[in-house]
A and B are shown apart, each in its own frame.
Chain A
Amino acid sequence: MNKPGVGKTIFTQEQIQERIKEVAADINRDYEGQDVIIVSVLKGSIYFVADLTRYLTIPLRIDFLSTKASPEVIKKTGVIQFVKDLDFNLQGQHVLLVEDVVGTGLTLGLVCQHLEATQPASLKICTLLDNPNERLVTINIDYRCFTMPDLYLVGYGLDHEEKYRNLPYIAEYHRG
């Protein structure tokens, strides 16, 4: 497969799976005896949430959220909109939010406020990649798989213009 722009592999398929298993073990331990609703933010976290939940042994349900932040929408509405909202009522439930990347924390802040408004019993955050150097909004991350290098990455759900999400590994991408 021709993959223009895709550079060296940063996290291999095996590294990703190993690390997700470890994080899943932590989550299984922390939530022992509790039912959990996993909320995944589309689309970047699809592969991550699919693999993570298959390593989880606690009783769980999965829900999805999606936001739209294109310049066109912003110009029209002035706010980022949820284009796919929750199907479940989270009130009184233990919620684990699963993200692909936490960078500035702005989107995460938006999502957290949205989830908190539903009054869950608890809310924790799990991310595949965390870039604390980019952080603007102080939010505690409960579970992280990898610290993100200061590179533009694709694969395992991460895209460049919607391409390369389906790579089973995470690689550097050279833009332009």
Chain B
Amino acid sequence: MLITVSRQTGSLGQEITDLLGQNMNLPVINRDVAMRNVFPEVASQHEIHMLAESPSFFLTTASDGLTFAQHLENRLRTRVAAESLIIFGLGAQIIFANHPGALHVKIIASPEVRIGRIMQSQGLEKKDAERFLELSDRKHKRYISALYGKDWSDPLLYHITLNTDYLNINEAAALIQFMAENQQVPTPEADTAVEAQKLKPVVFKHQSEEEFAKILDMHGMEWEYEPRTFPIKWDAEGNVIQAFSPDFYLPRFDTYIELTTMDQRYVAQKKKKVQLLRKLYPGTNINIVFKKDFNTLIKRFGLLKGAQPNE
């Protein structure tokens, strides 16, 4: 089990993590632990000082050719492989983003609440507490941005975000514990199912699509069949009332292809849909295969004569 906790200063993240560690009987790795246990082996006194001061110094190379960030990451990976633990900060939500057993938690609070807490805990005036938070937030952001090129505040980096405006330390720790102990961890079976889905033979709706797929195969082009549906019309309440799924997508050429080999009465409708899609999704490349072009291709490559038109 691995729990990573990222927190805003003044969000009670440290207190929640300490309590969580006690309640779950898990060791907590935080910045102090890392500075004490990882860097003395590979960094000089001056370098340790610099690591404490400057996020970008983590990208400096140690004498063995690895950066200090790599040393930290390697040590964390070794620990995580060996035991269940909680990592507080250190970019662990990114290092272990794809770790199957990880729970990534972010703890936040509103600026007003955080300022109030800092004023109380540090004995600061309001303006000094504001400045304290500003510097602290900037440092957190810079560490993640400099080392991993990610935005620390991106909610997609976390499984759960807790707002301690509305939760006390006990409630927050209990919530995280509950989630960690009841987490739906992706199983190898689930992964296999996803792979199997990918390998499932494509069932085409129309023969002409199957023939066109053969033409793409002939040209060595990777394709996907109806991989995406674009909503193109909504009602007054915002419900989608019309959508459009182009027949093929060519990932290498970022191009959608729509076959219009059907009854020519419907061609105008389809053209309109394509125009609408281009307008609503600017930058989307979509091209139409008209009946004449399709027949030319079929003839050129000696494919099935008289492939039935699609709808």
Residues on A lying within 8 angstroms of B by beta carbon are 69-72, 74-75, 78-80, 104-107, 109-110, 113-114, 134-139
- Shortest beta-carbon distance from A140 to chain B in Å: 10
Chain A residues with CB under 8 Å of B297's CB are 104, 106
Chain A residues with CB under 8 Å of B289's CB are 136
Interface-side segment among B65-73, B129-137, B216-224: B216-224
Chain A residues with CB under 8 Å of B219's CB are 79-80, 106-107, 109-110
Beta-carbon contact of A137 and B220 below 8 Å: no
- B35 beta carbon closer than 8 Å to chain A: no
Chain B residues with CB under 8 Å of A75's CB are 302
Beta-carbon contact of A80 and B218 below 8 Å: yes
Chain B residues with CB under 8 Å of A80's CB are 218-220
Beta-carbon contact of A136 and B287 below 8 Å: yes
> Which residue of A has the minimal Cβ distance to B301?
A74
Beta-carbon contact of B253 and A139 below 8 Å: yes
Chain B residues with CB under 8 Å of A136's CB are 255, 257, 287, 289, 293
Indicate which residue in B214, B221, B254, B303 contacts A138 across the interface (CB closer than 8 Å): B254
- Shortest beta-carbon distance from A76 to chain B in Å: 11
Q: How many A-B residue pairs have CB under 8 A?
A: 62
Beta-carbon contact of A109 and B287 below 8 Å: no
> Which residue of A has the minimal Cβ distance to B216?
A106
Chain B residues with CB under 8 Å of A114's CB are 220
Chain B residues with CB under 8 Å of A105's CB are 253
Beta-carbon contact of A137 and B218 below 8 Å: no
Chain B residues with CB under 8 Å of A74's CB are 218, 301-303
Chain B residues with CB under 8 Å of A79's CB are 217-220
Indicate which residue in B218, B220, B221, B293 contacts A134 across the interface (CB closer than 8 Å): B293
Q: How far is the CA of A70 from the CA of B216 in the complex (A)?
A: 15
Known: A79-B217, A80-B219, A106-B219. A138 touches B253 (CB 8 A): yes
Question: Can you add 6 more A-B contacts, CB < 8 Å, to A79-B220, A106-B297, A110-B221?
Answer: A74-B301, A75-B302, A79-B218, A80-B218, A110-B220, A138-B253
Indicate which residue in A71, A104, A106, A113 contacts B302 across the interface (CB closer than 8 Å): A71
- B113 beta carbon closer than 8 Å to chain A: no
Q: How far is the CA of A75 from the CA of B217 in the complex (A)?
A: 13
Beta-carbon contact of B302 and A137 below 8 Å: no
Beta-carbon contact of B293 and A137 below 8 Å: no
11 contacts across the A-B interface (CB closer than 8 A)? A74-B302, A78-B214, A78-B217, A104-B297, A106-B221, A107-B219, A136-B289, A137-B250, A137-B287, A138-B254, A138-B285
Indicate which residue in B217, B255, B287, B301 contacts A69 across the interface (CB closer than 8 Å): B301
- Shortest beta-carbon distance from B181 to chain A in Å: 50
Chain A residues with CB under 8 Å of B80's CB are none
Q: Which has the most chain B C-beta neighbours within 10 Å: A74, A80, A137?
A: A137
Q: Which has the most chain B C-beta neighbours within 10 Å: A69, A79, A135, A138?
A: A138
- B300 beta carbon closer than 8 Å to chain A: yes
Q: How far is the CA of A58 from the CA of B199 in the complex (A)?
A: 49
Q: Which has the most chain B C-beta neighbours within 10 Å: A80, A135, A139?
A: A80
Chain B 206-222, CB-CB to A under 8 Å as 1, else 0, gives 00000000111111110
Within 271-301 of B, Cβ neighbours of A (below 8 Å) are at: 285, 287, 289, 293, 297, 300-301
Known: A74-B218, A78-B218. A137 touches B301 (CB 8 A): no
> Which residue of A has the minimal Cβ distance to B214?
A78
- B252 beta carbon closer than 8 Å to chain A: yes
Known: A135-B287, A136-B287, A138-B253. A69 touches B300 (CB 8 A): yes
Beta-carbon contact of B215 and A106 below 8 Å: yes
- Shortest beta-carbon distance from A123 to chain B in Å: 13
Indicate which residue in B217, B253, B300 contacts A137 across the interface (CB closer than 8 Å): B253
Q: How far is the CA of A105 from the CA of B217 in the complex (A)?
A: 14
- Shortest beta-carbon distance from B19 to chain A in Å: 55
Beta-carbon contact of B287 and A138 below 8 Å: yes
Q: How far is the CA of A136 from the CA of B293 in the complex (A)?
A: 10
Beta-carbon contact of B293 and A138 below 8 Å: no
> Which residue of A has the minimal Cβ distance to B212?
A136
